[in-house]
Structure 1
Amino acid sequence: MDLAQRLLYRGRPFTGEVEEYLGGVRVSLESYVDGLPDGPGREWYEDGSPESEMTVRKGRAVGVAKRWHPNGVLASERVFSEDNGALLAVREWDEDGLPT
């Protein structure tokens, strides 16, 4: 990372996908353009079930971001504006799927 918090590869801002593995299991996948998160991002629990997904444009969340409990029940949805990434709405559920 540089001082502007851009991801670098061989000293240059990185464009492409970054995968993270834990014990041989993929636990995250993020897209970058010119060193900034840009595009879909996903995380998985070690058992392969989804943990979160969101879309980022130029480092800011846009659209709907989702997170799941380890049991597979949707834990939250956060809605971000498409133009500036402002948080517009939040919905959350407990592990039984009941609104909190």
Structure 2
Amino acid sequence: MIMIYRWILLLALFFSSCSDDKVIPIDFPSDVSDSNSSNTDFEVEPRFRSNDRTEEEIVNDFPKPVETYPLIEKEDVEILDGGILYRKNIDRPFTGRMLEKYDDGSIALESSYLDGLPHGQQLRRFENGKPALEAIFDQGVLSGVKTKWWENGKIREEEYWSGGEFFGRRLWDQEGRMIREELVPQE
């Protein structure tokens, strides 16, 4: 049954490649039960391959290791000039790492900045410490796969970005079953 849906997906992708730029939603059946699904957890490789720079290449833009730059908390920053991040009372764009913390002191968000723009990895965590969101930025522009998780640790969503353009996404339910895929047809 699932193979039929995969063939339908392949045919939809093939025929949509000649259409206007639009998102093609693909809903997966909700009648998947424990009797016809596997209990085995596995990680699906992303179908999207970005032509953008890798995370390693992006991090190499910093003249020295990111860990050696200032580490500031969200309360110590201000965003000015069209989204450029500054350290309060300092007139030049911030380069370093910015943290946001929960009331108990655990890390909610860690993000690196170069010349005031998000640059490198951004990682948001749930209060339980598990990852909630991971994204890579290249000079303020989303790059590659942006991933979100459910609080139980299962993948929730993958968004595909290249050069700041959205190329599609895949969604999973809280049990880890893919429930939707949306692709932006490419020329």
Query: What's the TM-score once normalised by structure 1's chain length?
Result: 0.92
Supply the distance in 2 between the matched residues of 1:33 and 1:19 (Cα, whole angstroms): 15
Root-mean-square deviation (CA), in Å? 0.9
Structure 2 unaligned residues grouped into runs of 5+: 1-78, 180-187
Supply the distance in 1 between the matched residues of 2:91 and 2:102 (Cα, whole angstroms): 26
Supply the distance in 2 between the matched residues of 1:54 and 1:33 (Cα, whole angstroms): 15
Amino acid at match of 2:118: P
Q: Name the residue aligned to 2:80.
A: 2
Supply the distance in 2 between the matched residues of 1:40 and 1:5 (Cα, whole angstroms): 17
Supply the distance in 2 between the matched residues of 1:25 and 1:61 (Cα, whole angstroms): 26
CA-to-aligned-CA distance 1:66-94 (integer Å, 9 cap, x gap): 0000111100011111xx22111200001
Supply the distance in 1 between the matched residues of 2:92 and 2:141 (Cα, whole angstroms): 21
Supply the distance in 2 between the matched residues of 1:49 and 1:29 (Cα, whole angstroms): 13
Q: Report deviation, 1:12.
A: 1.4
CA-to-aligned-CA distance 1:32-53 (integer Å, 9 cap, x gap): 0110111111010011011010
Runs of 4+ in 1 over 2 A off after TM superposition: none
Q: Report deviation, 1:97.
A: 1.1
Report which structure shows greater RCO (CA 8 Å, sep ≥6).
2
Q: Name the residue aligned to 1:19.
A: 99
Query: What's the TM-score once normalised by structure 2's chain length?
Result: 0.51
CA-to-aligned-CA distance 1:20-65 (integer Å, 9 cap, x gap): 1112110110010110111111010011011010100111110111
Amino acid at match of 2:134: E
Q: Point out the structure with max Rg over C-alpha.
A: 2
User: Higher strand proportion, which one?
Assistant: 1
Query: Within the alignment, does 1:85 sit opposite 2:153 as a pair?
Result: no
Query: Within the alignment, does 1:98 sit opposite 2:177 as a pair?
Result: yes
Amino acid at match of 2:92: R
Q: Report deviation, 1:3.
A: 2.6
Between the two proteins, the alignment pairs up a number of residues equal to 98
SS of the aligned residue for 1:11 comes to: coil
Structure 1 unaligned residues grouped into runs of 5+: none
